[in-house]
Structure 1
């Protein structure tokens, strides 16, 4: 019998995060992340069909420059 091996990549090593992962990693609510990524000029979101992925490094840069969100 073949066992499937799953590879677990730590969140801090991923280039793209799901909303749930990004919310936990950055301590920002999922609703706030949805609000930010709904903007058409958002530079840290990737749409895969209807699923949105957050570009971790781009969001880190955005948050480093932001006074408030």
Structure 2
């Protein structure tokens, strides 16, 4: 999947952070479940900026690899 940017197209696997929608598409995990995960105070793969939550892609991938159930 390629995410379209007004200035250029950046492949999703090259992006450092993902929106919840992008993370959902990339991982096939529902947006509702991702929102539940990032609302956990111990979540290490979320970056909050001006009220917006961004998912740190590599950290999220590692978290998925380390867990068998969510």
Match in the other structure for 1:49: 50
Contiguous gaps of at least 5 residues in structure 1:
none
Give 1:8 shift.
1.2
Return the structure number with greater strand share: 2
**Gapped runs of 5+ residues in structure 2?**
1-5
CA RMSD of aligned residues (A): 0.9
TM-score (norm 2): 0.89
> Shift of the alpha carbon at 1:56?
0.4
State how 1:28-47 maps to structure 2 within 5 Å.
28-47=29-48
Any runs of at least 4 consecutive aligned residues in structure 1 with deviations exceeding 2 A, and if so which?
none
TM-score, normalised to structure 1, is 0.90
- Secondary structure at the aligned position of 2:60 is classed as helix
Q: Bigger radius of gyration, 1 or 2?
A: 1
Other-structure match for 2:12: 11
